[in-house]
Amino acid sequence: MKKNPLLQSNHLPCFDLVKAVHIKPAVKQVLRDCKKRLRTLLKQPYPDFNNFIIPYMHIVDDISYVWGVVEHLNAVKNTPAIRKAYTRIQSRYINFMVKLKQNRHFYRIFSDIKKKFTLEPVQQKVIDDALLQFKLSGTALGKKRKSKFRRCQKQLSAWQNKFQNNVLDAVKNYTLTVNDPEPLKELPEHVLKAAHHLAVNNAKAGPGSRVWQFTLDIPSFLPFMKFCTDPALREKLYRAYVTRAASGKIDNTEIISKILKVRQQQAELLGFANYAVFSLQDKMAADPDRVNAFLDELFNKSAARAWQDAGELNDFKQKTGGKGPVKAWDLLFYREKLRLEKYAINEKVLRQYFSLDQVLSGLFDIIEKLFGHTLKKSRAAVWHQDVLFYVLYNDNQEESGYIYFDLYSRPDKRSGAWMDVCRSRRFRGKKIFLPAAYLNCNFTAPAADQPVLLTFNEVVTLFHEMGHVLNHVLTRIDYPAVSGLEGIPWDGIELASQLLENWAYEKEVLDKFAFHYQTREPLPPELVKGLKAGKTFFSGYDMLRQLLFSKIDMDLHYIHKGKADESPAEFIKKIRDKMEVIPSPPENRFENSFLHIFSGGYAAGYYSYKWAEVLAADAFSLFKQNGLWDRKTGKRFLDLLLSKGGSEDYYQMFIDFRGRPPDREALLRQYGIIK
């Protein structure tokens, strides 16, 4: 019998061999093997860091590696067979991991090693993080309460998976068919081609017909909302978008209530008043009141600017012949036209200067100049023919990591953009396993007759996700529990990604890669200037929008807590009514597709985007001061933050880099809200 390809982990995953049928037996096998190894480990007569904690880390890392590949396939290749296999084995994996973290024997031995031995700081961090996770998993609970905690975790994982599947299905099942070309005349040509191709594929049109189909996938939805001239059509697509997974058989409404209720139960089992307090135990913010004070501070300083933005857009709509105030489905349309008037930024023109190959080249150039690492395309087994694979080399031309780029939208792929861990850096005996990461986006797939062209927002997205990747693959820490992204508090995890975004706006950077894909002419100076100025365009509105999401997330877990006397939708509407400057329609149910908090890792942690953005704005101000290409500053950021992963206190690591605590007003200055 051939070995299961999911268990062939000597180098990188055998994606070309993995099928749905391999998932269940592979997960069962790795759990069985690791259970035996853990039992043997507990027999160690004189446990110390080297003979006990390092083997423990390797066992956990072996489980995480196999499960991580399975989770990744479930996100990027969500076929019915893979979805079914994933769902069937998920509870077994969850049960194993929670039981492991509830094991008092391991908790006691970790505690004893901490007390008995003088440890290096990074070893101390490994133990401290592990002890905290033991506690947050209920290791101190009695037998019955431990069992209840495990049931809660299994229920939570199942509902979170169902939530994500419902969003995926809701997007997959909806199309808007348009037969009249007139309202589509301003849409970019590549969007129209894709929409017509979809109509042909769905047998709604022949190759020469004039029929287009649009979807709720971002590469289709956003251009339609920006450029379709018919407000009735915009309203129709908008309402479908904000009611995803909110009706009929595909409805996340009850799942949200169940998730909130079970999270509250978990928190109470551990002695916490609510899930927000529980969630913040391993974050820098420490308690919900500090988070809300931070959000309120930003809101109070940004609200006037947001109302000014809304007023300007309403005036612009009236001036250009529109009737009535700006509606939610008007927002992107008039915003795009106002941006064009103020900064001469035409997205359709701009896109011609950002071919994917050039953008990647420019991005890789930044990485080389700042951090001394180069990326070279290579070959590896992949899960789809469009996936790119690169090897990262250090300044001695030694391999130091691997990156998979899965950049295009597909029907069986999760929406949005995200980075995930394929493998953490570690030593096993004398052999080093280098880190590997996935970078996932949902750009429009390439057409046969031209290169892939990106919108500027997509360029920024690519830079953002690459920041996450660098945070993982540039690590120099060999303990997998604190290597790369592991061990970094969630409210610091966005620092590197939001920092790297800033280079996409700078003229001396754009001059290196923004060339017209046909003429090779550089991006005209007026467009460069417009992009830079446009960074603060509608910044008050954008600030409040992110604060709204953060506030909803925090207060759902801090105040609402899944209580039965008020639905989450009713609770959320009260917050929206206070914070929205352009009102959403009452039937807006965006929470039903809020993947970050109901199926991702951001529950009671969405504020992390704004806090990490403060850190990123403050860090970038040092690069601006010393020079965008200043290798000394880049090396300092690499040595003091990127390379250390989660091996030290993250807040102190930032202070060491910046030379002082973070300046909160750096973000407001970057947004142009204060000077």
Burial label for 185, CB within 10 Å (0-12, 13-18, 19+), is: exposed
Beta bridge partners of 178: 212
**Quick one: tokens of 542?**
């954008």
Q: What is the pLDDT of residue 446?
A: 84
- Domain map of the chain by residue range? 5-101+103-136, 174-243
CB count in 10 Å sphere of residue 32: 11
- Could you tell me if 490 and 604 are in contact, meaning their C-beta atoms sit under 8 angstroms apart? no
Q: What is the pLDDT of residue 450?
A: 81
- Which residues are the active-site residues? 465
Q: What gap in Å lies between CA 57 and CA 428, rounded to an integer?
A: 11
Beta bridge partners of 515: 522
Q: Which of 106, 103, 109, 113 has its CA nearest to residue 141?
A: 103
Burial label for 133, CB within 10 Å (0-12, 13-18, 19+), is: middle
The CATH class for the domain spanning 5-101+103-136 reads mainly alpha
**Quick one: tokens of 187?**
């849409």
pLDDT along the chain (675 residues), means of 10: 80 94 97 98 97 97 96 97 96 96 97 97 98 97 96 96 96 96 95 93 82 95 97 98 96 98 97 97 94 97 98 97 96 97 91 96 97 97 97 95 97 94 88 95 85 95 98 96 96 97 96 96 94 93 98 98 92 96 95 96 96 97 96 97 96 98 96 93
Helix (H, G, I), strand (E, B) or coil at 406: strand
CA angle 203, 193, 450 (to 5 degrees): 130
Helix (H, G, I), strand (E, B) or coil at 398: coil
Q: How many residues does the chain have?
A: 675
**Which positions ≥6 away from 274 have C-beta within 8 Å?**
264, 267, 288, 557, 558, 559, 561
Q: Which of 458, 488, 457 has its CA nearest to residue 471?
A: 488
Q: What is the pLDDT of residue 207?
A: 79
Q: What is the pLDDT of residue 73?
A: 98
Q: What are the CA-CA distances from residue 321 to residues 236, 308, 310, 326, 328 (Å)?
A: 21, 20, 17, 12, 17
**Quick one: tokens of 450?**
């031209």
Q: What gap in Å lies between CA 645 and CA 560, rounded to an integer?
A: 34
Residue type present at position 573: K
What element of type H or E holds 441? Answer: strand 436-443
What element of type H or E holds 388? Answer: strand 388-393
Q: What is the pLDDT of residue 260?
A: 98
Q: What is the pLDDT of residue 8?
A: 84
Q: What are the CA-CA distances from residue 177 to residues 210, 211, 235, 291 (Å)?
A: 11, 7, 14, 44
**Which positions ≥6 away from 325 have C-beta within 8 Å?**
314, 317
**Quick one: tokens of 271?**
């002695």
- Could you tell me if 15 and 76 are in contact, meaning their C-beta atoms sit under 8 angstroms apart? no
CA angle 565, 571, 573 (to 5 degrees): 140
**Quick one: tokens of 661?**
């605590």
Q: Which of 663, 642, 638, 607 has its CA nearest to residue 490?
A: 607
Helix (H, G, I), strand (E, B) or coil at 654: helix
What element of type H or E holds 63? Answer: helix 54-76
- Could you tell me if 166 and 591 are in contact, meaning their C-beta atoms sit under 8 angstroms apart? no
Burial label for 35, CB within 10 Å (0-12, 13-18, 19+), is: middle
**Maximum Cα–Cα distance for the chain, whole Å?**
82
Buried b (16+ CB within 10 A) or exposed e, 327-361: bbbbbbbbbbbbbeeebbbebbebbbbbbbebbbe
**Which positions ≥6 away from 539 have C-beta within 8 Å?**
305, 309, 671, 672, 673
Q: What is the pLDDT of residue 1?
A: 44
Q: What gap in Å lies between CA 432 and CA 409, rounded to an integer?
A: 34
583 CB-side CA count, 13 A: 8
Beta bridge partners of 408: 443
Query: Does the predicted TM-score (pTM) go above 0.85?
Result: yes
**Quick one: tokens of 657?**
């880099």
Q: What is the pLDDT of residue 428?
A: 80
Q: Which of 129, 74, 140 has its CA nearest to residue 102?
A: 140
Sign of the alpha-carbon dihedral angle for 22, 24, 27, 30: negative
Sign of the alpha-carbon dihedral angle for 572, 577, 581, 583: positive
Q: What is the pLDDT of residue 9?
A: 66
Q: What gap in Å lies between CA 556 and CA 574, rounded to an integer?
A: 12
**Quick one: tokens of 456?**
């500027």
Q: Compute φ and ψ for 422, nearest 5 degrees.
A: -90, -50
DSSP 453: B
